[in-house]
Structure formats: C-alpha cells, structure tokens
Amino acid sequence: MDLEPYRGELVAYCYRMLGSFHEAEDLVQETMLRAWKARDRYDRTRASVRTWLYRIATNVCLTALEGRTRRPLPSGLGAPSQDPGAPLTPALDIPWLQPFPDARFDLEVRADMRLALVAAMQVLPPRQRAVLVLREVLEFTAAEVAEQLGTTAAAVNSALQRARAALAEAGAVEEVVEPDDAGARAVIQRYVRAFEAADVPALVRLLTEDAVLEMPPVPLWYRGSRDYGRFMDRVFAMRGTGWATTLLTANGQPALAAYAPEPDGSHRLHTLQVFTVTAGRVAHNVVFADPRVFETFGLPGRISSEEFREFRRER
C-alpha cells in the first residue's frame, strides 16, 4: 500500500485545520504511521484509501486541537494602531498563524488557502472546521464526511451551514476570490520597485484606501494607506535604502522576501511579505519575521555583496 502520493494534500489539509505548517507536517507523519500500522484492517469495500487516510488525519487533527487556542493574525486580536513609532515587541507567547510554502507542493494542493480564509477558519470549532474543508475544499460527500467524523449526514450539513455563516460574517468569503494573476503580478512588481527604492509615496499610491499592514510575531497592525505609509517611513529610516527582494508565492498569493542592506554591502533576510491584491491595489500585507517561517520557505539568511550584484544583473 503506497501512501506517499497523498502526503502533499494531507499536509495542506492539516495546515488548514491547525494554521501551522510545521505542525501539519508532524501530524501527517503521525497519520501515515497510524495508517501503516492499521493497513491490515483497511477494507477497500467500505472506503477508498484516500477517504480512509482523511478519516485518520481528521482524528489526528481533532486530537491535536483539544484544549488549543486558535492561531491568529494581529488583526484578529484588537484594534489597529495609529502610532507608527510604537515599540516592535514580539509576542512570542502567541501561537501565530503561519504561511504555507507553495513552491513545495503541487498547484492543486494550494487551492482555497488564502491567509484571510485560514485565519477566519481558526475561529470555527474544530469539527466545523473539518466539515468545511472536507466538504467545500476537498469535495467529499456529506455521507463520506459523516463516516470520517463518526456522525450523520444531517449533522454534517448542519455544521457546514453554520461554518459558512460564520465565515460570511467574518468577511472571509470575499477575501478568497481569485485575483487576476497577471494584474496582481504587475501590481507587485511595481510595489517591489518602490520598496527597493524606499519610495514611500510610490508605495502608498499602490495601496487601497483601507489597506492593512500586520507583522506577526509583533502584535501591532495598521489600517489605512496613511498609517501604512507612516510606518514604512519608519522602516526605511531605520534600515536605509538599497533593499533586495525576491518574488515567490505563499497560500496561493503573491509574496516577496525582503533583504535589508548591511554596512558591508551584504543583505540580511528581514521579512517574508504576503499580499492580497484587490482591484489593482494592495489591500493587505502580512509581514512575517519568524526565522522558522524563513526556514520553511528555504530562504537564504544572507546575500553577499557579490551575490547582490549578480542578483541585480539577473533582474
């Protein structure tokens, strides 16, 4: 029985459930181990291998979520700040939502994984969360989900309705509409040019009026292009100009890795930034500064001055 072809989609499923890529990988490993030990009891007349694996993974995730607090983003914890000079003190006691490294998985695995949706899902009770993903994203039937959760199809449908209503109330449904990829790329390319030049007015012109900037593990966040720009003024005043960036994607969204200039001409990895682009403008930027996130994306921590010059020639 070959279980490996299912690993990628199971990691994506557990990530949606837990909001943590690292935990998702661990839980999939546990799922595979349980499945291998129970392989002699698997009955192909009752369920496909895929359905059987999702039942095991769901039980593993629900057990892991017992007694857990949700993984939030800063915007889910309180009001926005209006002080661009507020202390940038990390809240390391909070289990922050993590981004998903798209490049490590097939395109099909990454569907419906926008950060806003995953963050909103963390508010749902775990079983509602499982029903939502299994029915809406993975398209299992109500009967299959009932079998996976040990309940009835009617209970599954009821839980799905409640989950949909909760997401609609949170405004997460509109956030996950697929953007025009070519248009989004063009916006981010203009954003990159402005960012590398530390051109705050140009950055602000690319923002929606109520654009959100947040930066876990710092619990601060800002709403509105004015405060966004004021904070970026502070960043560039602190770290200087001449940044380097590399484009990538996370959670099916455009993203960039930002490298801050160092006195010796090298560049040090500063942040991973994940964007939501709406109607030709940046509406949301989640800026991650967690070294574990950098490791997940396989980003080099430092670019030498020689590498930077080569990087510039390639651009």
Domain range list for the chain: 4-175, 181-314
**pLDDT value at position 308?**
67
Query: 100 with 21: CB under 8 angstroms?
Result: yes
Q: What is the DSSP string of the chain?
A: ---GGGHHHHHHHHHHHHS-HHHHHHHHHHHHHHHHHTGGG--TTT--HHHHHHHHHHHHHHHHHTTPPP---GGGTSPPP--TT------TTS------BGGGS-GGGGTT--HHHHHHHTTS-HHHHHHHIIIIIS---HHHHHHHHTS-HHHHHHHHHHHHHHHHHHTHHHHTSPP-HHHHHHHHHHHHHHHHTT-HHHHHHTEEEEEEEEETTEEEEEESHHHHHHHHHHHHHHH-S--EEEEEEETTEEEEEEEEE-TTS-EEEEEEEEEEEETTEEEEEEEE--HHHHHHTT--SEE-HHHHHHHHHH-
β-strands 267-278, 253-261 pairing: antiparallel
Count of alpha carbons within 13 Å of 305, Cβ hemisphere only? 4
pLDDT, one tens digit for every residue, the chain (315 residues)? 789 999 999 999 999 999 999 999 999 999 999 999 998 888 888 889 999 999 999 999 999 999 888 899 999 999 999 999 999 999 999 999 999 999 988 877 777 789 989 999 999 999 999 999 999 989 999 999 999 999 999 999 999 999 999 988 877 655 444 444 788 889 999 999 999 999 999 999 999 999 999 999 999 999 999 999 999 999 999 998 889 999 999 999 999 999 999 998 899 999 999 999 998 999 999 999 999 999 999 999 998 877 766 655 454
**pLDDT value at position 176?**
40
Residues 6 or more apart whose CB falls under 8 angstroms from that of 226 comprise 204
Which one of 3.10.450.50, 3.30.70.150, 3.10.580.10, 3.40.640.10 gives the CATH number of domain 181-314?
A: 3.10.450.50
pTM of the model: 0.91
**pLDDT value at position 177?**
41
Count of alpha carbons within 13 Å of 138, Cβ hemisphere only? 27
Compute the distance between CA of residue 281 and CA of residue 97 in angstroms, rounded to an integer. Answer: 24
